Amino acid sequence: MSGSGATVALVLAAGLGTRMRSKTPKVLHPIAGKPLLAHVLDTCAAVGARAVLVLSKESEPDRALANGATVVLQEPPRGTGDAVQVALRAVTEQAGTAFVLYGDTALVRPETLTRMRALLTERGAVMALMTADGGSDNAYGRVVRGPQGDVERIVEARFASADELRIPEANLGAYAIDLAWLRSAAAELTMNETGEVFLTDLVAIARRRGDTVAAHRLGDADEGHGVNTRVELAHADAVLKRRIRERHMLNGVTFVDPESSSVDAGVEIGPDALILRGSILEGTTVVGSGTRIGPYSIVRDTKIGAGCVVEASVLEGATLEDEVRIGPFSHLRPGAYLERGVELGNFGEVKNARLRTKTKMHHFSYVGDADIGERVNIGAGTITLNYDGVAKHRTTVGNDAFIGSDTLLRAPVTIGEGAATGAGAVVTKDVPPGMLAVGMPARSIKKRTPPKK
Ligand code: UD1
Ligand code: CA
């Protein structure tokens, strides 16, 4: 059976997910920084399957995630079998393999699906299930086998007898099915007494027809972990994050106390990076090789070059070139751009500003909406007054300038190349290159004598 022809994936995401107790559709809840459904669609792409996504009116917001998948509406949702019947109307391919995946079962690995597809051919089966021992106390459908060990049917936990509930083998909710067979068998699915059509009844239909159903029995049920409640959402998040950390470790990243750190699915980390305890890497973050993050740093949508140090700091939407040192307790906000060799110390905040190469800002400063030159020293307590209550204004500081401690730079203002400000200066007018400005408001009093290097 199967093996050749098209590969399609029917992704079921029309269920209401009422047990989440949320205004947000279940499959839109994120794990490792991405909606459950996005993970499932990534898996479809990884196995080369064209995805047909089943949504309902309630889960319609998920359409934004569809990302090229064909979307069909199941209205009203009448169970997983009904969802597949609806999905098949959007499948033009006649022969091949159909994967059926649940939008709430996001941890299925591409390798597992490929293995299940191979089982169809190897066993001459019409359908392959993904199963695992789930223990006796769980909500999964149970896999009922005959005396010879053949898969005979799946019984839903809520309809199972006490004996059936003791069956440890659980149906995890991912299937590889011969497409032509699915077309004819799905038409035979009927509504049960609760008004639902169960996809899992396909197993009994196969049995009646004398067709074989194979089971790919996993050693670890986590891969088939379906999310129905927020408790299960947290568990799926933890499982996926462990998997992500292990992938990075195998690629050459050291984690110290790995359980304490969290890395989103989309994050890239270079070899020989060191992630110390309590670090959170989110979104589209990229970490260069040999860079040390943490302990206790939060890095969101930020590009960090190689050989950097980011200790106990918060970075969002920032860019760091190589060999930048940050923290402890620095805060980079969107648009912060630190060139090679920049150093930022405790309580340094940078927003929408470029600090050019080798500039240092070691203590208690705020630089926003600014362009700071190369090798500038920003003294403790320097603040750019970028906001006059109405509009934001820019501050420009030339190369090799020296900003004295406690300087206030009232934007728009420019400090010329090689200029300096005295301690406590309140700069309201431009300081020409090479001049020293002091006082409140600061006046340029003489040519600056730069220190001998
Ligand atoms: C289902 C299986 C059960 C298995 C479990 C694994 C059936 C009948 N039962 O149960 O054997 O152990 O998954 O997690 O399939 N959906 C639709 N339309 C609907 C109903 C559901 O698209 O009308 C989607 C849901 O959005 C969800 C998926 O199908 O993503 C599974 O539905 P759910 O109600 O969670 O099924 P379970 O009760 O968990
Ligand atoms: Ca479920």
| Residue 97, pLDDT score | 98
Question: Residue 64: its pLDDT value, please?
Answer: 75
CA of residue 202 relative to chain centroid, distance: 34
Ligand 1 and 313: CB distance under 6 A: no
pLDDT of 108 above 50? yes
CATH topology identical between 6-224 and 253-447: no
Instruction: Name the residue with tokens 């995890």.
Output: 172
- Tokens standing for residue 40: 């499932």
How far the first Cα of the chain sits from its last, in Å, is 80
Question: Within a 10 A sphere around the Cβ of 64, how many other Cβ atoms?
Answer: 9
Amino acid sitting at position 88? L
Question: How much is the pTM?
Answer: 0.92
Establish whether residue 141 lines the binding site of ligand 1, counting it when its CB lies within 6 angstroms of any ligand atom: yes
pLDDT over 50 (residue 301)? yes
Would the CB of 103 count as within 6 Å of ligand 1? yes
The set of catalytic residues is 363
446 burial level (CB within 10 Å; 0-12, 13-18, 19+) = exposed
The class (CATH top level) of 253-447 is mainly beta
Cβ pair 176, 97 in contact under 8 A: yes
Which of the residue ranges 8-17, 172-181, 299-308, 315-324 would you say has the lowest mean pLDDT? 8-17
CA of 416 to the centre of ligand 1 (A): 67
Distance 199 CA to ligand 1 centre (A): 8
As given in the structure block, the two tokens for residue 209 are 């027809």
Residue 402, class by beta-carbon neighbours within 10 Å (0-12 exposed, 13-18 middle, 19+ buried)?
A: buried
Query: Cis ω on the peptide bond leading into residue 76 (within 30° of 0)?
Result: yes
CATH of domain 6-224: 3.90.550.10
List the Cα angle 188/193/196 in 5-degree steps: 60
**Residue 286 above 70 pLDDT?**
yes
Two structure tokens written together for 58 = 């309630």
SS3 call for 414: strand
- The stretch 244-271 carries a mean pLDDT of 98
Q: How far apart are CA 174 and CA 356, in angstroms?
A: 52
Q: Where are the domains of the chain?
A: 6-224, 253-447
**Which residue's CA is the nearest one to ligand 1's atom 14?**
226
Q: Which of 2-16, 222-236, 277-291, 363-377 has the lowest mean pLDDT?
A: 2-16
Q: Considering only residues 48 and 139, tell me which one the structure prediction assigns the higher pLDDT.
A: 48
Pocket mutation for ligand 1, best pick of 39, 101, 102 (most atoms within 8 Å of C-beta): 102
Report the pLDDT value the prediction gives residue 212, as an integer from 0 to 100.
Answer: 97
How far is residue 29 from each of residues 20, 23, 43, 88, 403, measured CA to CA in Å? 9, 10, 17, 26, 47
Q: What is the pLDDT of residues 386-429, one digit of tens each?
A: 999 999 999 999 999 999 999 999 999 999 999 999 999 999 99
**For 316-351, what is each residue's pLDDT tens digit?**
999 999 999 999 999 999 999 999 999 999 999 999
**For position 3, what pLDDT does the model report?**
47
Separation CA 405–CA 411 (nearest Å): 18
